[in-house]
């Protein structure tokens, strides 16, 4: 059975490399809202292909099945977004989200700078770092503030209190306007902050530090500012401009129009400033991301000026960067900026190709379960399936409900793997009765609705209470909740093809909420709601203002979302969905292994933090925290568990580094002696123990008296019995020596 499944998946993946036609794309609202399948095709930059795609999209529409709602808890996007953007879906987990929430004056980390916009000015901070053994964060200081003083005011007074405006945004960039004169091109990973001054106006640059010196070159196009905190900044102007200097401000002597570029000289070697000089004349105004083939991501920047483009790459970029493919790129090893994510290194080139090792998305364990274990697993399976009838789902929470139906779906797949199909009809009946009310809008107490203000699904409870469903109504945790629903739907569509066909539109509507790749203005959903295409992992925070930017706690639930979408692609024979889900899952896992899994000696985090922690609790854009939303740092079993659940075949890829897994379990085990530790959390610790010590893990699992609400004894036994011999595998490569489609890689 497993061999047949692998042959089937291999065929689907093979086709995804060969079939390049575009699938129906994002939703098209007309007088009555309609829903198309989200755009999941691997893109081509060919204009002819885009035109063909647009024609194909217009010919395929279906009624949108979730009714509209006017949420009472969502913020008003019209305060900060340009009017022409309001008719399109808007991002709800973006790198600039703080700029469009409340007063819009909280900073965002746009590597390598913290950027804050308020009072018609923009402030740049090259943040210092404050590390302890429990957390790390970057400190915002108003190093340089750029503004145009009011003509009717003295230049020493505060500028007027006009709001900034988001005039455009792309995958890797934001254009932020400070009316009436200033436009900032905030492109992620640029060592320069670039500003266009549209009409002649006096230019003011102030600082909270004392200015020790300010000098200009002979042509008045390069200006060097030295501050008393040890920083040196350079400002390049597209035309000559002279400045007058006070203790904490420089002001242009005459009105200026044109482009200015500002960068900190972050290295002491003279070559650092020479490098900035060399690349100061070419600036990016936007950046887009393309998925032209599985397990490949391509960055392309639109640039202006002349010469080559200099950008910065974080550590994961550097590991994945293909230096021999796409546009020519050159890594400047000595040109580095510090970052909470590790050193940012200079890369020259306006197009990058990133390749991640492939993963095998499978329904069942990669290595399989030995027949000698069938009897024990089947005994647990019988009992767990019987419990589906005796314990109907009582919760109305979209998160906990999703976990419970996904738990039941696991039982069907384990039954297949241990050759015990007798229980599958019971699971199928339970799944149908549990899922259909959510897809038909008949579930009592909750359900999915469509929010046209930002563009996406909310829950009935969440549309009235921002705290309900863990903030789902303000776009928190969408990939978590919907990932569990997709898993259950994928399994049910697999074991009941007719049911899958009947509810295909609703299934794709749920998936499209966080998996839409399209950028069409008439879409129902924004592009990749949760996935950060520069960091290469997801954010979960939604439309909530946080001083440290976006955040994510559970990487494993994010992996589950994309893995489940890929499984749904298998159920429906959708090769594009298989490829996209697999690619995003692979990137999410590589990011988790880079930034959430803490390994001593890697150099990303300080020694004190690395020594005391093996996993990050909550990872923020501008902070690393050992605590969780629901537990203090010393509850290490919760930190391990929240980076592991749900326990799935893909989990063995996420924790493919056996030595790190051993260290993580060793670090966690003492916490299990604390009074009140939940049996469910213990189960996750023992599961990882099974990666390198199957016998001990089985012994401990058999002694448990309870399980996580998304887990079961059946699932724990399946996991432990399907563990291999504990040999080290290459981190990030799905299935290790069992990976059956390495030869399809790229």
* Tokens at 155, concatenated: 């230049």
Secondary structure of 475-513 in the HEC alphabet?
A: CCCHHHHHHHHHHHHHHHHHHCHHHHHHCHHHHHHHHHH
HEC readout, 297-339: EEEEEEEEECCCCEEEECHHHHHHECCCCCCCCEEEEEEEECC
- Residue 644 · residue 577 · CB < 8 Å: no
- Neighbour-count burial for 388-400, b at 16+ CB within 10 Å, e otherwise: beeeebeebbbbb
Cβ atoms within 10 A of the Cβ of 55, count?
A: 10
* Spatial distance between the Cα atoms of 226 and 209, rounded to a whole number of angstroms: 10
Smallest Cα–Cα separation from 112: which of 345, 348, 278?
345
List the structure tokens of 436.
Answer: 């259909």
- Residues noted as catalytic: 477, 553, 557
Alpha-carbon distance values, 659 to 25, 599, 662, 683, 688 (Å): 43, 10, 5, 20, 11
Distance of CA 386 to the CA centre of its chain: 38
Residues forming beta bridges with residue 108, ordered by sequence position: 115
**Six token digits for residue 456:** 């996406």
Q: Phi first, then psi: give them for residue 384, nearest 5 degrees.
A: -70, -35
Radius of gyration of the chain (CA): 26
Pull the structure tokens for residue 275: 């490098």
| Cis amide linkage into residue 673, ω under 30° from 0 | no
Q: How far apart are the first and last CA of the chain?
A: 28
Helix (H) or strand (E) holding 459: strand 456-459
- What are the beta bridge partners of residue 289? 299
């Amino acid at each position: 059975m497993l061999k047949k499944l692998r042959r089937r998946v291999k065929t689907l993946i093979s086709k995804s490399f060969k079939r390049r036609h575009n699938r129906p794309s994002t939703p098209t609202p007309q007088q009555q809202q309609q829903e198309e399948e989200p755009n999941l095709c691997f893109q081509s930059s060919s204009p002819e292909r885009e035109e063909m795609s647009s024609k194909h999209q217009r010919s395929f529409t279906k009624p949108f099945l979730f009714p509209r709602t006017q949420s009472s808890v969502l913020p008003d996007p019209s305060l900060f977004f340009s009017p022409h953007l309001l008719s399109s879906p808007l991002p709800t987990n973006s790198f600039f989200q703080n700029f469009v929430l409340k007063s819009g004056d909280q900073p965002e980390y746009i590597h390598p700078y913290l950027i804050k916009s308020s009072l018609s000015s923009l402030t740049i901070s090259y943040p210092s770092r404050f590390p302890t053994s429990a957390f790390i964060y970057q400190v915002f200081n108003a190093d340089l503030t750029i503004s145009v003083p009011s003509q009717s005011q003295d230049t020493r007074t505060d500028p007027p209190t006009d709001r900034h405006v988001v005039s455009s945004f792309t995958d890797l960039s934001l254009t932020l306007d400070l009316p009436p004169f200033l436009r900032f091109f905030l492109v992620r990973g640029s060592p320069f902050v670039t500003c266009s001054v549209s009409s002649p106006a006096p230019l003011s640059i102030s600082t909270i530090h004392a200015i020790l010196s300010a000098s200009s070159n002979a042509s008045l196009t390069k200006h060097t500012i030295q501050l008393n905190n040890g920083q040196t900044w350079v400002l390049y102007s597209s035309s000559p401009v002279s400045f007058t200097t006070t203790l904490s401000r420089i002001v242009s002597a005459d009105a200026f129009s044109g482009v200015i570029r500002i960068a900190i000289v972050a290295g002491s070697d003279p070559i650092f400033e020479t490098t900035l000089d060399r690349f100061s004349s070419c600036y990016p105004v936007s950046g887009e991301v393309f998925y032209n083939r599985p397990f490949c991501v391509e960055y392309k920047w639109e640039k202006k000026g002349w010469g080559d483009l200099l950008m910065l790459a974080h550590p994961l970029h550097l590991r994945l960067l293909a230096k021999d493919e796409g546009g020519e790129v050159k890594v400047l090893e000595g040109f580095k900026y510090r970052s909470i994510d590790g050193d940012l290194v200079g890369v020259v080139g306006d197009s990058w190709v990133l390749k991640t090792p492939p993963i095998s998305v499978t329904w069942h364990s990669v290595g399989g379960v030995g027949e000698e274990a069938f009897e024990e697993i089947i005994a647990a399976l019988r009992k767990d399936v019987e419990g589906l009838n005796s314990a109907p789902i009582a919760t109305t929470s979209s998160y906990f409900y999703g976990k419970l139906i996904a738990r039941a779906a696991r039982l069907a797949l384990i039954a297949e793997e241990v050759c015990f199909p007798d229980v599958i009809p019971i699971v199928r009946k339970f799944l149908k009765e549990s899922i259909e009310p959510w897809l038909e809008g008949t579930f009592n107490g909750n359900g999915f609705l469509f929010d046209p203000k930002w563009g996406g699904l909310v829950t009935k409870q969440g549309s009235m209470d921002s705290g309900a469903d863990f903030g789902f109504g303000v776009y928190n945790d969408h990939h978590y909740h919907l990932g569990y629903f997709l898993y259950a739907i994928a399994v049910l569509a697999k074991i009941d093809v007719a049911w899958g066909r009947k509810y295909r539109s609703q299934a794709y509507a749920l998936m499209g909420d966080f998996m839409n790749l399209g950028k069409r203005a008439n879409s129902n959903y924004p592009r990749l709601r949760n996935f950060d295409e520069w960091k290469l992992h997801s954010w979960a925070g939604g439309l909530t203002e946080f001083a440290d930017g976006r955040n994510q706690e559970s990487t494993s639930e994010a992996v589950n979302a994309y893995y489940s979408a890929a499984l749904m692609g298998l159920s429906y024979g959708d090769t594009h969905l298989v490829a996209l889900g697999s690619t995003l899952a692979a990137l999410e896992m590589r990011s988790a292994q880079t930034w959430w899994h803490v390994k001593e000696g890697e150099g990303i985090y300080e020694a004190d933090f690395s020594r005391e922690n093996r996993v990050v609790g909550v990872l923020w854009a501008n902070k690393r925290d050992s605590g969780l939303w629901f537990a203090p740092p010393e509850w290490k079993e919760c930190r391990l568990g929240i980076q592991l659940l749900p326990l799935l075949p893909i989990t063995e890829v996420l924790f493919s580094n056996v030595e790190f897994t051993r260290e993580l379990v060793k670090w966690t085990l003492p916490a299990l002696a604390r009074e009140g530790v939940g049996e469910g959390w213990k189960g996750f610790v023992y599961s990882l123990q099974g990666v390198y010590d199957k016998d001990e893990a089985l012994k401990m699992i058999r002694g448990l008296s309870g399980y996580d609400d998304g887990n079961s004894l059946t699932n724990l036994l399946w996991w432990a019995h399907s563990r291999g011999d504990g040999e080290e595998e290459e981190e990030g490569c799905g299935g290790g020596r069992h990976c059956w489609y390495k030869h399809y890689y790229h």
